[in-house]
Amino acid sequence: MMQGVQLEAAVVSDVGRKRQVNEDTALALSPAFIVADGMGGHEAGDLASQAAVAAFSERIAPGRPSTVVEVSEALDASRIAVAHVAEGRAHGAGCTFTGAVLVENEGELNWLVVNIGDSRVYLHRGAELQQVTVDHSLRDEVGPAADGTRVPRNVITRALGSADTTADSWLLPVETGARLLICSDGLTTEIDGEELRATLTMGGRAESVAAELVRRANEAGGRDNITVVVVDILAGGLAWHLGPERSTIGETYDDDTLTATVPRRRPPVLGGATS
């Protein structure tokens, strides 16, 4: 429990059915819930994701809300840690990095969602699922070619260890009854948004839901490592209610100073009401 907010979290990470090494690393220790996915085809992707998460967690004190400044400094530490792993390697090393951190901001408790790459954060409430993050992938940024062909989704445009390590960030309210899903793309390449929504809506404790999502991804092919973090806000948050008048996503933050900015774009809402 943190400032009256009661959370339940679970993490499940699986190598999948096609890979020999699990390059994903996860952190599920309040106030920080993070997934890092080692970049495929690079040497030491597993070491890069481990280094990124370790450096981040060292700068986020457990058991109390963090701050926007602390999260910014922790991200910088992760960038440096991955750069050290990549030094001297012919093909470099890198990872995506995404998650949510409880922060105290202007006297209120919020989720600060951060994202670099194509791992994702979703917000689930009632029967509604909202993808919070926007993939940093060539497919998402350029769309289909003139002949209708699509760029492979795994061509990412930002990652720790790459030329562009800029994070997108969003500020969300902490709401009782809401559920966060943080996952590597090994889940979302196998399970579409509607199946994600249905699985999260079926209910059950965070641990059973996380295990079920990984099971479904493996059943669908398991072509990549699969990591899932589920966080439930059990009590102490704001009340939420479905309806077109409410905003699904809060302010975004600029990575340089993590200063509030206007959201660039919002992924669609699945199920329930739209906004």
- The residues with which 37 forms a beta bridge, in sequence order, are 24, 96
Confirm whether 244 is domain-assigned: no
pLDDT over 90 percentage in the chain: 70
Q: How far apart are CA 112 and CA 89, in angstroms?
A: 33
Confirm whether 275 is domain-assigned: no
pLDDT, tens digit (0-9, with 9 covering 90-100), for 121-172:
999 999 999 999 999 977 555 555 555 565 556 678 999 999 999 999 999 9
Count of alpha carbons within 13 angstroms of residue 158, beta-carbon side: 20
- Walk across the sheet containing 95-105 and list its strands: 24-29, 32-38, 95-105, 108-116, 168-173, 252-254, 259-261
Q: What is the mean pLDDT of residues 215-229?
A: 97
Confirm whether 38 is domain-assigned: yes
CB atoms < 10 A from the CB of 25, how many?
26
Confirm whether 259 is domain-assigned: no
Contact assessment for residue 109 and residue 65, using Cβ atoms and an 8 Å cutoff: yes
- Measured at the alpha carbon of residue 163, what is the angle toward residues 16 and 153, in degrees to the nearest 5? 40
Confirm whether 204 is domain-assigned: yes
In which domain, by residue range, is 89 found? 6-239
Q: How far apart are CA 98 and CA 182, in angstroms?
A: 7
pLDDT, tens digit (0-9, with 9 covering 90-100), for 5-31:
999 999 999 999 999 999 999 999 999
pLDDT, tens digit (0-9, with 9 covering 90-100), for 24-56:
999 999 999 999 999 866 678 999 999 999 999
pTM for this entry: 0.87
Number of domains in the chain: 1
Task: Establish whether the linkage from the previous residue to 267 is cis, with ω within 30° of 0.
Answer: no
Confirm whether 245 is domain-assigned: no
Question: SS3 for 94?
Answer: coil
Task: Please report, for the domain that includes residue 229, its CATH number.
Answer: 3.60.40.10
Q: What is the mean pLDDT of residues 65-82?
A: 96
pLDDT over 70 percentage in the chain: 79
